[in-house]
Amino acid sequence: MALKHKYRINPDTLALERIEHGILFWLKRSGQYILFGLLFGAIFFFIFFMIFPSPREKQLLQQKEALEGQLQILDHRVDQMQVVMADMSQRDDNLYRVLFGAEPIPLAVRQGATNKITYYEQIAEMTNSQLAADLSLKVDVLEKEMYVQANSFNEIVELAKQQEVRMENIPAIQPIMNKDLKRVASGWGFRIHPIYHTRKFHYGMDFSAPTGTEVFATGNATVVHTGWRQGYGNTVMLDHGFGYQTLYGHLFKSLVRKGQKVKRGDIIGLVGNTGASVGPHLHYEVHLNGRPIDPRNYYFIDLSPEEYDRMIQLSNNFGQTFD
């Protein structure tokens, strides 16, 4: 196809003259084409780049999703570890340390104040790193709690080595045969009194059992009282030393005498329904330094951790006592 030429009218001669272009014109025209080509190419590349990720980007996105998934799994596992740690801390303060007369560890000491706030803030400023920052904080707190707990258990072990006699004396079993826990009637705390029908604090634990059921000494002790006691009926009190005493109330009959030495598991009386009672049962109390304390923390020889948890639930489910 022949190249089309452009013409113009000469104003002087009024004749058509063919327009002749020089090299400068063609360079300018070529530059315009190249410029427009580059512009459209750049726009196309940008749109393609924004819509379709590169193979490298796809790989990085897959790695990012996998890492976030692993972080979420790890975060869930740390949450579970914190639940276990909290349970261990509660048992340590309310059971093990109580047994050896050691003071509970303050919560501020267990968790500790972290000095890495700036570090966490720096992590959180990174793209998609909030989960990593939260996880780092949890791990640091958990590490502190585990360190404190390990030291506490070491302290308890040393106390146990030094206090073998104390361990033989302090209350450590249930006062009646109750392995299946079916005789737990009511525990420590506010309850509805069965006779006066008023809300009253119950300073012990009730075990329902038929009249004549054997009652055991819960630790090595000396009998310091047998006989009638107002409200408790026939009662036996044992002095275990180390500030501990136990009370066994509403007995049908006591089988020991004042001043007698007894060992853990010895039969000291029979369940009855004497005193302010509405049915055959044993009312059991543990006293430390003259003050009643929750007896549920003193069955550690009898009960596994699972049985202990079940007994706590059972003793909390009753709003009324037998006495």
Using CA atoms, how far apart are residues 205 and 200, in angstroms rounded to an integer? 14
Q: Tell me if 10 is assigned to some domain.
A: no
Query: 208 and 279 in one domain?
Result: yes
Q: What is the pLDDT of residue 244?
A: 95
152-163 pLDDT per residue, tens: 777 777 776 667
Residues facing residue 186 across a β-bridge: 206
Using CA atoms, how far apart are residues 301 and 118, in angstroms rounded to an integer? 48
Q: Tell me if 39 is assigned to some domain.
A: no
Q: Tell me if 179 is assigned to some domain.
A: no
Q: Tell me if 6 is assigned to some domain.
A: no
- Domain of residue 257, CATH code: 2.70.70.10
Q: Which domain holds residue 109?
A: 55-162
DSSP 86-142: HHHHHHIIIIIHHHTTPPPPPHHHHH---S-HHHHHHHHHSTT-HHHHHHHHHHHHH
Last residue of a domain, one of 111, 130, 162: 162
3-state secondary structure of 113: coil
Q: Tell me if 43 is assigned to some domain.
A: no
Q: Tell me if 151 is assigned to some domain.
A: yes
State the DSSP code for 299.
-
Query: 276 and 207 in one domain?
Result: yes
**pLDDT-flagged residues of the chain (< 50):** 1-2, 113, 319-320
Query: 193 and 117 in one domain?
Result: no
160-207 pLDDT per residue, tens: 666 778 888 999 999 998 877 777 767 766 666 555 556 677 788 888
* Count of domains for the chain: 2
Residue with the two structure tokens 């020089």: 22
Query: 290 and 232 in one domain?
Result: yes
Provide the mean pLDDT of the chain: 77
* pTM of the shown model: 0.51
Query: 188 and 151 in one domain?
Result: no
Q: What's the gap between Cα 130 and its chain centre? A: 23
Q: Which two tokens stand for residue 136?
A: 């780092």
Q: Tell me if 3 is assigned to some domain.
A: no
Q: What is the pLDDT of residue 1?
A: 45
